[in-house]
Amino acid sequence: MSNQSAPIQEVSRLLDLVPYLSTHSHISLKELALEFGISEKSMANELTALSMCGLPGYTPYELIEIFFDSGFVTINNHDTLDIPRALTQLELASLLIGLEILRDSAGDNELLIAKIDSLLVDMKALMGDVIKIDENPVSRFQALISSAIESRSSLSLDYRSPLKDEVTSRKVDPLEIRSERENLYLVAFCHLAQAVRNFRLDRVEQVTMIGTTERSHEPLTLAEPEVISARVKVLGDRRSISEALSIVEIATSGEAVVEIFSPLWISKATIAHAPYIELLEPAVVRDSVRELAENILALYSS
Amino acid sequence: VSRKSERLVNLTIALLATKRYLTKAEIFRTVAGYTGDSEAKDRMFERDKEDLRSLGITIELGTFDPLFEDEAGYRIKAEHYQLQLKNIDPLSIALLSQAGKLWREAALGPAAQSGLRKLRSIGINSDLDSIVEITTSSYSAPEQLPELIEAITSRRIITFEYLDQELVSHVRRVEPHRLSNSRGYWYLIARDCDKAAIRTFRLDRFNSSIDISGKTDAFEIDLESLDTVDSNFGDEPQFAVLHVRKGKSPSLRNEAVISELDSEWDQITIQYQSQDQLIREVLWAGENAILISPHDLREQLIGSLKKVVASHV
């Protein structure tokens, strides 16, 4: 709860300590401090403060009793606060979004999915419909791919390549799943390319497990791709172009530098954002942009 | 530990324990920590009520006997204080723990942790064995999410700077209504106070921190009208007809109605919402796709390509 002041967070902890201690009798101070995310010293101070609180009257009969017994904590006389507190809207939201994401990783385990759905219904009823996860950010294949990584199995992968503009099937040995910016990537040894490649999970069309295979291609590291610097002039539509091309800064003149891995990619991107990008350099690629535009135009005149 | 924290805990205990409404005078007389003249105590009490409210604790105002005009009093009802989630079993605990762990160091992490702590204080064990097959990679979320959730649930008007289509920053003042995640991006759906209309804002296009200091309960949310905005993101869906080379452009073919044209080409009909997006996708396909209709978009696309040819000589 980022926007709460320190004393408010302290009150929140003090109130939550009571029900927690009542179900975790004789917990060590160390473990308790860890659970509440504060130092042992602060926890000891807060427990002392708690023992000064209680029902009006504040005689020993009304105060909460805290016992420290060689580093272990016990609570007594705490009936009023002895109930777990209601979740705040932010707590509900964080768990709700988490559950939505988890739902996709549950694969086809019907028991788990039914349980998640019933929790989601309960939580949404408490929140109002203010958060919507339209499309889950986690790929539906993530669970399968993760288990293939674990069991060192190979996968048959149908992958949509935006550069080739087609779906290709290939055999890959999955190594890890990595997240970068908004996307998840599968890092895998590709038998087609005979090299380690990155595959964006949202471009994976189909995956099947094809059993464990001998892996003779160690060590497996992703070859550093060669980076080319391209110079473009952005003539309009600056926001969508800077997002699509990952441009750090566009000068007032419209000029910008783009780091690219493939000349074909920058040609396609220039065409896709026509007429708002002029590719200045490299000159060779600039020519290929014109050729591509002419070839497409030829399709429209025939 | 501050005196204030102790006073707030004592106030909570007193208001929870009472079976009847406590008047302000009774509170000041019996609850430890209220000092100073009556004005100072009043101010203290008003702040305390607001602070407890920010912790999600509802203090109820009522009178002993509605038939008489008694002085109003205060209490906290246990049913509003206690955990609202019912039927929590070991499997629910395991799933919720896993859901909370997704955030790790992300902006929602602290809230997830304090929520889980409350669930753990029920004192039932987590059935972790049932969910071993669920993998958890950590997941990141925009840092504005906690503030926006707070602003939505407390109905506060917010202001922030937002980048327009040409990357020029403008101050926007909005009633935040809903957060939505689609294709990896987070969106805020809000009523723009100056434009008096519902608008969608992508969180990574915010260009400043968010000012959430506005008053609570400043507006109401009409969920029904939001649902229509949500389903089509503002624009009416329309149809386009394309010719697509066989075996190519899988992303255009997704959800398209496809018929065979000749040995080289298929004809496809697709639904689109944004004209700009449609043109970008068709052009990205390069020599593998031709836009047939709508006619005006086809003309626009041809004009754009001619400009590219002219500027790249």
Chain-chain contact of A166 with B247 (C-beta, under 8 angstroms): yes
Can you say how many angstroms the Cα of residue A173 is from the centroid of all Cα atoms in its chain? 23
| Burial B61-72, CB ≥16 within 10 A → b, else e | eeeeeeeeeeee
Q: For B311, what's the count of Cα atoms within 13 Å in the CB-facing half-sphere?
A: 20
Task: Give whichever of A186-200, B134-148, B229-243 has the largest mean pLDDT.
Answer: A186-200
| A31 touches B: beta carbon within 8 Å | no
Task: Give the N- to C-terminal CA distance of chain B in Å, as an integer.
Answer: 73
pLDDT for res A139? 64
Chain-chain contact of A84 with B118 (C-beta, under 8 angstroms): yes
pLDDT for res A16? 93
**Please, are residues B16 and B80 in contact by the beta-carbon 8 Å criterion?**
no
Q: In sequence order, what are the residues at sequence separation of 6 or more whose Cβ sits closer than 8 angstroms to the Cβ of residue B7?
A: B31, B32, B33, B34, B44, B48
Compute how many other C-beta atoms are within 10 angstroms of the C-beta atom of residue A36. 19
Chain-chain contact of A278 with B31 (C-beta, under 8 angstroms): no
Helix, strand, coil tally for chain A in percent (to 5): 40, 25, 30
The label of the residue with tokens 């992968």 reads A157
Please give, rounded to a whole number of angstroms, the shortest distance from the CA of B213 to a CA of chain A.
Answer: 11
Residues in B closer than 8 angstroms to A123, CB to CB, are 85
The CA angle A137-A140-A146, to the nearest 5 degrees, is 100
Q: For A271, what's the count of Cα atoms within 13 Å in the CB-facing half-sphere?
A: 29
**Comparing B11 with A128, which gets the higher pLDDT?**
B11
Report the C-alpha gap between B167 and B152 in whole angstroms. Answer: 26
Residues in B closer than 8 angstroms to A84, CB to CB, are 82-83, 118-119, 121-122
Q: For B289, what's the count of Cα atoms within 13 Å in the CB-facing half-sphere?
A: 30
Confidence label for B100 from pLDDT (cuts 50, 70 and 90): confident
pLDDT for res A1? 40
Confidence label for B69 from pLDDT (cuts 50, 70 and 90): low
Residues in A closer than 8 angstroms to B113, CB to CB, are 37
Residue A99 burial by CB count (10 A; 0-12/13-18/19+): exposed, middle or buried? buried
Please give, rounded to a whole number of angstroms, the shortest distance from the CA of B140 to a CA of chain A.
Answer: 9
CB nearest to B2's CB, from A10, A48, A177: A10
- Asked if residue B231 has pLDDT above 60, the reply is no
Please give, rounded to a whole number of angstroms, the shortest distance from the CA of A265 to a CA of chain B.
Answer: 9
pLDDT for res A151? 83
A66 by DSSP, 3-state: which?
strand
**Residue B179 belongs to what H/E stretch?**
strand B169-182
Chain-chain contact of A239 with B8 (C-beta, under 8 angstroms): no
Q: What is the CA radius of gyration of chain B?
A: 28
- Asked if residue B49 has pLDDT above 70, the reply is yes
CB nearest to A132's CB, from B167, B205, B230: B230
CB nearest to B9's CB, from A11, A19, A90: A11
Chain-chain contact of B250 with A205 (C-beta, under 8 angstroms): yes
Amino acid found at B288: N
pLDDT for res A70? 83
pLDDT in tens, chain A (302 residues): 444 677 888 999 999 999 999 999 899 999 999 999 899 999 999 999 999 899 988 888 888 988 888 889 988 888 888 889 999 888 999 999 888 888 877 767 788 889 999 999 899 888 877 777 765 555 678 778 888 888 888 999 999 988 888 899 999 999 888 777 667 888 898 888 888 888 988 888 889 988 776 665 555 666 677 888 999 999 999 999 999 898 989 999 999 999 988 899 999 999 999 999 999 989 999 999 999 999 999 999 87
Chain-chain contact of A1 with B91 (C-beta, under 8 angstroms): no
CB nearest to B112's CB, from A89, A94, A131: A94
Write down the ipTM of this complex. 0.80
- Asked if residue B163 has pLDDT above 50, the reply is yes
pLDDT for res B286? 93
Interface of A with B in 109-138 (CB under 8 A): 109, 111-112, 115-116, 119, 122-123, 126-135, 137-138
Confidence label for B162 from pLDDT (cuts 50, 70 and 90): very high
pTM: 0.80
- Asked if residue B20 has pLDDT above 60, the reply is yes
Confidence label for B62 from pLDDT (cuts 50, 70 and 90): confident
- Asked if residue B233 has pLDDT above 60, the reply is no
CA distances (Å), origin A14, targets A66, A78, A85, A223, A258: 12, 12, 11, 53, 53
Residues in B closer than 8 angstroms to A54, CB to CB, are 10, 13
Interface of A with B in 135-174 (CB under 8 A): 135, 137-138, 142-143, 146-147, 160, 162, 165-167
pLDDT for res B186? 87
At B251-291, the pLDDT tens digits run 898 889 999 989 999 999 999 988 999 999 999 999 999 99
- Asked if residue B195 has pLDDT above 70, the reply is yes
Chain-chain contact of B290 with A48 (C-beta, under 8 angstroms): no
pLDDT for res B137? 63
Report the C-alpha gap between A35 and A43 in whole angstroms. Answer: 10
- Residue in A22, A102, A159 to test binding to B, most B beta-carbons within 10 Å: A102
Chain-chain contact of A297 with B121 (C-beta, under 8 angstroms): no
Chain-chain contact of A83 with B183 (C-beta, under 8 angstroms): no
Please give, rounded to a whole number of angstroms, the shortest distance from the CA of B194 to a CA of chain A.
Answer: 22
Mean pLDDT of B176-187: 85
Residues in A closer than 8 angstroms to B201, CB to CB, are none
Q: How many residues does chain A have?
A: 302
The label of the residue with tokens 């909370």 reads B100
Mean pLDDT of B37-51: 92
- Residue in B4, B82, B117, B164 to test binding to A, most A beta-carbons within 10 Å: B117
